[in-house]
Structure 1
Amino acid sequence: MSLVFKSVFLLCLLTLLSSNKVLGKTHVKITNTLEGGLDLTVHCKSKDDDIGVQYLHPNASFGFSFKPNFFGTTQFYCSFQWKNAFHWFDIYIENRDDKRCHECYWDVKKDGPCLTTSNDQSIDCYPWNDSLKVKN
């Protein structure tokens, strides 16, 4: 093997190993910031994993971690329920979130969830997903 080929191969291997796809985990933290001091019930899952039901009092949080799959298709969605309300949201979509957060902090409000990333502390708020298309 030529020295140039070995160098390129080593550079590619190091790049792959340092990426989130091989070594890193993504962490999601969800905090109940509902207006009015309401308790929140959260149930998160993916195609392969069920995180389980969590009961959050006002300002309480819970988190989970996962390793995104090699194919770039990792997706987690959560249902959110409080007094007289039920919503759901795709809490992690790899092609939306992979480049902007590996520590994804979500504040749940009545209007929808807001993402604060650890990288730049920017806040992006989203509306709830269409409740007529609830996933099973």
Structure 2
Amino acid sequence: MSKVVMILILTLIMAQQGLGFLVWEMVYHVHLLNRMTTDFPPLTVHVKSKNDDLRERTVRKDNEYYFKFKPSLWGNTLFYCVFRHGDKVKMFDVYKSGDYKHEKFSCRQHRQRLVYWKVQDDGFYRSCDDESYVKMYDWRR
């Protein structure tokens, strides 16, 4: 059998098993969690991409804002967010194609991919399982 046929067969097998290895199977679920110590001033989040404006939202203490999407087949999906808490403002990418391919295997084995961003007084933490978080950014620029 030629290499092309073997690749096609393997691709079809992976698609049938729903292993989530194929871009068109994946669905990302992004959770922006407010874990600030106070609700005053309120935390606002404004999520955007090139094609979508998810509008500014107020996220109360101990609550979250959630959205989901399927990434582009071209591998160029990008969602960024502006976070505001009083006079503190921070903007960064909450999802960028390619940023998550090195996550631990347990986070990559399903079609439903989870991305958690926990906002705290000292900064922003990311996780793929809502358990083990890594600090990614401070509030200051």
Smaller-chain TM-score bracket:
0.7 to 0.9
CA RMSD of aligned residues (A): 2.6
Match in the other structure for 1:96 = 99
Match in the other structure for 1:134 = none
Match in the other structure for 1:56 = 59
Match in the other structure for 1:123 = 133
Tell me the CA shift for residue 95 of structure 1.
1.2
Tell me the CA shift for residue 43 of structure 1.
0.2
TM norm structure 1: 0.79
1:59 corresponds to which letter in structure 2? Answer: D
Match in the other structure for 1:74 = 77
The alignment status of 1:86 with 2:89, answered yes or no, reads yes
Q: Which consecutive residues of structure 1, in runs of 5 or more, have no partner in the other structure?
A: 132-136
Moved more, 15-24 or 65-74: 15-24
Query: What is the SS of the residue equivalent to 2:82?
Result: strand
Match in the other structure for 1:10 = 9
TM norm structure 2: 0.76
Match in the other structure for 2:110 = none
Tell me the matched-pair count: 129
Match in the other structure for 1:109 = 120
Whether the 8 Å CA contact 2:125–2:137 is kept in 1: the answer is no
Tell me the CA shift for residue 61 of structure 1.
0.5
Q: Which consecutive residues of structure 2, in runs of 5 or more, have no partner in the other structure?
A: 108-112
With CA pairs under 8 Å and 6+ residues apart, which has the higher RCO, 1 or 2? 2
